[in-house]
Structure 1
Amino acid sequence: MSHTPHELHDEFPDAAAQIHALKTQDKRFAALAERYHVLNREIHRIDSGIEPASEDRTEELKKERLSLLDTIQLALKASEVSP
């Protein structure tokens, strides 16, 4: 399988260990990361022509992905200041 852009470790390359730790310690973060992964794969299949979708649907999915990224980034920042 080819490399899929927009994976969390690509989006936050300096936070790989932090992402892994949060996924194992924080159920909410783990759910966000899983939703992001599923959504990202769906977008990749659409962009690759494997799965058909309208432009509106594709745009909707990409907006949701961006929103998830914002939420994940906030969670990463919040965990940096937590003990």
Structure 2
Amino acid sequence: MPIEHHALINDFPEYRERIHDLKMKDDRFARLMDEYHELTKHVEHMESEIEAVSTQVEEGAKIKRLKLKDELYAMLQA
């Protein structure tokens, strides 16, 4: 099964310019975005079984990523 890449720009293409602006001007947004991308890489490794972990660990990482994504989305809408 192919792994879906969850880059913020792919998930919210309508906010491409806003993502770039916030990344350059808002330290908190930039930090959260970096954390989101690192967590996404980690989840993708778990999904592709490059990194062997329990289902609980994988689901926990996905939940954390979703919470980060929700927070970033709220900042994009502000």
The TM-score by the shorter chain falls in which range?
over 0.9
Q: Which residue of 2 aligns with 1:40?
A: 40
Unpaired runs of 5+ in structure 2?
A: none
Match of 2:10 in 1: 10
Corresponding residue number in structure 1 for 2:66:
66
Tell me how large the CA RMSD over aligned residues is. Answer: 1.2
Partner of 1:56: 56
With a CA cutoff of 8 Å and minimum separation of 6, indicate the structure with the bigger relative contact order: 2
Provide the residue aligned with 1:27 in structure 2: 27
Equivalent residue letter for 1:7: A
**Code of the aligned partner of 1:51:** E
Equivalent pairs, count: 76
Q: Which runs of 5+ in 1 are unaligned?
A: 79-83
3-state SS of 1:32 partner: helix
Structure 1 stretches of 4+ moved >6 Å: none
Percent identity (aligned): 37
Matched letter for residue 18 of structure 2:
Q
Relative to the length of structure 2, the TM-score reads 0.92
TM-score (norm: length of structure 1): 0.87
1:28 deviates by 0.2
